[in-house]
Each structure stands twice: as structure tokens, then as C-alpha cells.
Structure 1
Amino acid sequence: MAVLRDTSHRRQEISRLVRERGSVQVVTLAERYGVSMQTIRKDLHYLAQKGIAERSYGGAIAADAVNVASEPPLEAKQASHIDEKARIGALAATMVEPGDSVVLDSGTTTLQIAYHLPDDDSITVLTNDLDILCVLSRKERLRVVMLGGALRRRNHAFYGAQTESALDNLHVDKLFLGVDGFDLERGITTHYEPEAMLNRKMVKAARQVIAVTDGSKFGKVCLHQIMRVDEIDDLVTDGARAGDLRPAAERHGFRLHIA
């Protein structure tokens, strides 16, 4: 791509990118436009003043992606980014080894992991998701534990004190954590407070925390934080944002897996 040094033109381009992608990174933009990182920081400050973006660690987030208040219906989630979620689920399932105990968090991406898990009687899977339970129940040998509680029909998952208490005194090998928002500065977030509370309990119970999400969740920030990005061990995602994420993975200390 030709180097763009004209300030007005460059800022228009960056504005378009931040709206399309949800977030942008200083290093990537500086390389793209052949200017210094300080110049890009001035551009992002200008966009923040215009209400187009909000500054974040190492870059900026689309203004309308911050504090995303409304949770999409389950049907909309199921219909979005289908191919990417299938690839992510297939790759994440290969990380489960014989003898593992794992937690599958609720969500349409973790549902894809359930489809791809091997039917091995040495593997134990815990979940609070009704749809995941239905998929796992069709496997004849896999050991399945349902985390009960109060059913939230909006996403076919169980939450509450009973669900959380089921995790007391449990220690699992791996947690596969679905997310509503993934931002390098504001962390991993979700729309629903009881889900954030349950996810924190899952994190404490797991030896290895593996976040699974497609690129549409990057740069989005929801109301309730689950954990910081530097607290995850692995991230499994699709290739759309791989270039931006590799430096972040090194900086925050997590392993990046691209489906």
C-alpha cells in the first residue's frame, strides 16, 4: 500500500479502520502509513477528541464499542462468524489431552469445542451450558458433569449460587472461556454480572485458562470484567487479527493459537 503522509487523509483512513475493526494499534498503524508512532498517537488523540475512538493501551477502540450495553440474542450469536467459530472450536479441542478435566464455559464458540472433543472416557467435561450438555450427551464414553443452578433462557445457561458452589473444592486442568469483549487494557468482559462471577470461580478452579473468541470481540468492552488479559494462559482465535495480536501476546505473556 502507498505510504499516506497527508494528515487529513490518514486520519480519515484510521477512522474507517477503527470503525471496521473495533480497535487499532499504534505500532501497526505506524508501519502501515510509514510515519512515527508519535504521529499516530496524535492522530488517535484527534479522533478521541472527535468522539470517534477512545484511547486504549497501545492503540484506540471504537467509541461505540466501549461499554457495549446490549447483549445480542442467542439466535444472532449462533448465526454470526459460523466458519471462524468452527475452526476455533476444532483447534481448541486438540488442546484437550487424555486424562484431562476441563470446563466449557457457556457460549457459541465453546459449543463448537464440544462438537470436536474426542469421545474418550478418560476425559471429564464440566459445563453450565444446556446446548453444550446436549452435544456432549450424544458422545457415549465422555464423562460429563453439569453445573446446575437457575436457567437463564436468554443464552440457555445456568447461573447463581448453586452453580458457583458446584465449583467449590474442584480443580480442573483447563478452562475454555468464551468472551463478549476482549480489550488489551480493559480485559476480558461480559454483559451479564452473574456470568462474570461464575467465570471468576471457573478461573480459580483451573490450572490453565484458555480464552476462545473470534476477531469480532476484539476492542469491545462490556460492563463486567472477568479478568485481565495478562491472566490468561492461551488465546485461540481466527486469523483476521493475528498481526495485531502477536506483539500483545508477547507483552502480556499468553500463547496465541490461530485457527
Structure 2
Amino acid sequence: MYAAERQQLLAERLQQDGRLAVIDLAEELDVSSETIRRDLAVLEREGVAQRVHGGAVATRALTILVPNLAQREIVHAEQKRRIAREAAALLPDAGGSVVLDAGTTVNELVDAFPLDRTLTVFTHAVPAAAKLITLPSITLHLLGGRVSGATAAAMGPTTIDSLADLRADVCFLATSAASTAHGLSTPDPDEAAVKRALVRSARTVVAVFDSSKFSLDHVFSFASYDDLDVVITDTDASEDDIKELRARGVEVVRA
């Protein structure tokens, strides 16, 4: 397991349990106690944990850890590829329009785009745009704004204003967390504002995220389950989470 994966796992455990023990984690993850202490030091710097003798306790009820783009790309990579392949089946027919959110799962979806289908694509995500520009069948619109180093995506009033004029066929939406009470959420208020505009920009909203995002809450909610038409996740998603989505009228696809 990579360091970024361990740290995200520990942040999620803190969210669920409120405290962590170094010895137990070292044994469970088959690493040294010193490795776990270094991970907890990272979480403490991020404001997620407070180290105590023998472990750590949660400092806040809501997680705020935001791994950088390179870290997120390696976490749950196989699940993201499977989700992306299922999402590609929901791309509109030739001549249709798509809005793409920023995120590693959405980047995988771009890799699954059919090479010969003419589509108009709008995105604020620089990595997605860099891939799409190589496809001659795609008419690409890169939305402006201040580019965040954490997400490699534009955000701010310019981005939101650009999205306000759109009514695309499908929006593919990413998230850091998903729960019944808080919906889809993110630690960043500016990112949340852009995502709210993304939800309003298309007739059909498809959320793509792996099962590790369930039962997590970040500070800023940007969509309720009622705002979603389809959720594509992986087969590790619990039956309770799937039933809750379906009870809210959301179509669920497990990849």
C-alpha cells in the first residue's frame, strides 16, 4: 500500500472511530510502528488528527484531508478504470454534448472515450482537456478561471459564470465524499461552488466515484442524492448505500 493510500485509510478510520492505535494499525497493515507514526504526523499537519500517546484522535467531526492529484491517481486505480468503462456507455450519441468535472475517475473516463464519435465537451479540468485536445472528433471548450494546484482545475466566478450558460446532455460529476445526510461533499468551498454549477449545467447528472467515498462527509455539500440521475461505483459498495440511493430514485451501476 502506498503512503497516500495508508493516510487516506487512516483519515477515514478517524472519521468512523474517532481514535487510532499505532500498534494495532502497524500489525493490521504490516508496516512498522514508525511508518504509522509518520502517517499520523502528516494527518496532524493537515488538521485531521491530534497525536496522543500510542496513537491519535480525531480533531474534527468532518474530514478535511485533500490528497494532491498525483496521490489520488494511485488510490483505487483499478476500481476507477472499471467505473470509467461503465460511464463511457452513458456518453451521448454523435452530436451530443458533455460536461466533465475534475477528478481522477473522470480522467479515466476520458481515456475510454470512443475515438470516432463527434461530441462537444466542456470542462474546467486541465488534465482532461489535455487528453481531449488530441481527439479530432471532439469539439473542446476549456472553461476559464483560477487553476487550483490541488485539483488542476479552474474555479472561481469566471468558471461558474461559464457553466451558467450551458445545458448539456450529460454531466459526469466527481466527489470526495458521499452520505445520505450530507450528499456529495468536498473540503474546498470554491470547488463546491463550481460543482453546484456543474450539477445545474446538464439534463442528466452522472456521479462517478469508488465505494471508499461512501459514509464520508466533508465540510461543503454541493449536491444531494436527489440531484443525481445515475451513480456509477464499484462492487464493494454496501447494500445499504445502494438501497439508499435507489430509494431516492437514483439509478445505480456497480462496475
Q: Which category of TM-score, normalised to the shorter sequence, fits these structures?
A: 0.7 to 0.9
CA distance in 1: counterparts of 2:252 and 2:216, whole angstroms: 19
Structure 1 residues 18-167: aligned runs within 5 Å: 19=13, 66-98=61-93, 99-120=95-116, 122-167=118-163
Aligned counterpart in structure 2 of residue 221 of structure 1, from 202, 217, 220: 217
- Contact persistence 1:212–1:237 (CA under 8 A): yes
1:209 is aligned to 205
How far apart, CA to CA, are the structure 1 residues paired with 2:155 and 2:239? 36
- 1:179-194 alignment runs, 5 A limit: 179-194=175-190
Cross-structure match for 2:194: 198
Residue type of the alignment partner of 1:88: I
CA 149–242 in structure 1, closer or farther in 2 if over 3 Å, else same: same
Deviates more, 1:243-252 or 1:111-120: 243-252
Larger gyration radius, structure 1 or structure 2:
1
Cα drift, residue 179 of structure 1: 0.1
| Contact 1:89 1:116 survives alignment (8 Å) | yes
Distance 1:249 1:73, change over 3 A: same
1:122 offset after TM fit, Å? 2.8
CA distance in 2, matches of 1:142, 1:201: 23
- For 2:175 and 2:60, the matched residues in 1 are separated by 14
**TM-score normalised to structure 1 length:** 0.73
Structure 1, gaps ≥5 residues long: 1-17, 24-62
- Give the total of aligned pairs: 203
Cα deviation code 1:191-230 (max 9, x no counterpart): 1111111111111121111111001111111111101112
Superposed displacement of residue 246, structure 1: 3.1
- Residue 162 of structure 1, CA deviation: 1.1
Structure 2 residue aligned with 1:249: 245
3-state SS of 2:99 partner? strand
CA distance in 1, matches of 2:185, 2:80: 19
Q: CA deviation at 1:22?
A: 5.5
The residue identity in structure 2 corresponding to 1:257 is: V
2:174 aligned partner: 178
Counterpart-to-counterpart distance in 1, 2:101 and 2:181: 23
The 1-side partners of 2:137 and 2:241 are apart by 37
Q: What is the match of residue 25 of structure 2?
A: none
Work out whether residues 65 and 219 of structure 1, in 8 Å CA contact, stay in contact via their aligned partners in 2: no
The ranges of structure 1 where at least 4 consecutive aligned residues each deviate by more than 4 angstroms after the TM superposition are: 18-23, 63-66
Identity across the alignment (%): 29
Q: Kindly tell me: are residues 21 and 150 of structure 1, through their superposed partners in 2, closer, same or farther at Cα, counting changes over 3 Å?
A: closer
Give the equivalent residue in structure 2 for 1:5: none
Helix, strand or coil at the partner of 1:239: coil
1:25-51 superposed Cα distances (whole Å, 9 cap, x missing partner): xxxxxxxxxxxxxxxxxxxxxxxxxxx
| Alpha-carbon distance, 1:148 to partner | 1.1
User: CA separation of 1:121/1:247 partners in 2, compared to 1, >3 Å: closer, same or farther?
Assistant: closer
Q: Please state how far the C-alpha of 1:76 moved relative to its aligned partner.
A: 1.3
SS at match of 2:163: coil
Write the deviation string for residues 34-85 of structure 1: whole angstroms up to 9, x where unpaired.
Answer: xxxxxxxxxxxxxxxxxxxxxxxxxxxxx88951112112221011000000
Distance 1:75 1:173, change over 3 A: same
Distance 1:176 1:130, change over 3 A: same
CA contact (8 A) 1:188 1:227 kept: yes
* Amino acid aligned to 2:65: S
